[in-house]
Amino acid sequence: MKRGYLGIDVGSVSTNVVVIDEEGEVLSHLYIRTQGQPIKAVKRGLKETAEKVDGKVEICGVGTTGSARHLTAVMVGADTVKNEITAHAVAASHEVPDAQTILEIGGQDSKIIILRNGVVTDFAMNTVCAAGTGSFLDQQAARLGIPIEKFGELALQSKTPVRIAGRCGVFAESDMIHKQQLGHNLEDIIAGLCEALVRNYLNNVGKGKEILPKVVFQGGVAANVGIRAAFEKALQTEIIVPRYFNVMGAIGAALLARDAVKKKGGTNFKGFDVVDIDYRASSFECKGCANRCEVIEIYQEDEVIARWGDRCGKWESIAM
């Protein structure tokens, strides 16, 4: 039986579950929608992953990342819990040696990570404006009446992309409608939207950053060949899209788990049977001081097994 390592990346839009072997090769990968229910999404991801690898792979370590990384870590018994910046950087360096810039655009946020000699030296995130994200593209594809899967292909057919205001999602949408009314063809409008998104990203997330090759493009939007072409046009360099571009955070978490387990010699993984356990999350406001922290509680059945969110550590330190 192969030794494997599990990586779980739970974000607001997608939940990604990956199993890698000792060499870091992907044995199983899964991309599903979180739909506002991270506990349910993690359970589904673990169940489907178990069906693929159970009996073939022994899970020897688990890592979690993403916005729900702490919740997921408590559920599965993680060996390492890391933020998205670290996880994406580790995965990119593994998949594309000598990578120096990571462009990452997901469903509701985007980030840029600057690497030098395999070490993160700078990064920036945008979680405010939707104009540079996948959800914005989804909305515009729906408005134009085309499947998002064909969005990039149509952009590549453009001969003269229309310039569309891309500083804000609202302005971009109204400008796109105006260009439609002027009679511009669909391909040119779509190419214009791709270029607008890239301008928005570079002027906001990438502002002041030294973008050097090799440039790696990951996250769900990397599937869009129109966006990739717009980045290549703007940066005048090759844009590399890794094989598993949409689950890179999970790959990074799995690689970090492999390294952590080698150092400590064992795993905390609770096993795939956790899908049968009832977990739920709740919260309360601590009134102990002026900070009024929101404290998150995680229940396993009817027992509190973890708390976090308080700045002083008062609630985290209470024995469960």
Which range is least confidently modeled, 154-168, 192-206, 207-221? Answer: 154-168
The superfamily CATH assigns to domain 2-90+248-276 is ATPase, nucleotide binding domain (3.30.420.40)
pLDDT at 54 over 70: yes
pLDDT at 128 over 70: no
CA distance 86 to 119: 9
pLDDT at 58 over 90: yes
pLDDT at position 132 is 57
pLDDT bracket for residue 181 (50, 70, 90):
low
The closest of 205, 107, 203 to 148, measured between CA atoms, is: 107
Average pLDDT over residues 70-77: 91
pLDDT in tens, 35-48: 888 899 999 999 99
Residues linked to residue 308 through DSSP beta bridges, in sequence order: 296
> Is the Cβ–Cβ distance between 270 and 76 less than 8 Å?
yes
pLDDT at position 167 is 60
Q: List, by residue range, all CATH 3.30.420.40 domains of the chain.
A: 2-90+248-276, 97-241
pLDDT at position 320 is 42
Average pLDDT over residues 193-200: 86
The superfamily CATH assigns to domain 97-241 is ATPase, nucleotide binding domain (3.30.420.40)
Average pLDDT over residues 248-267: 95
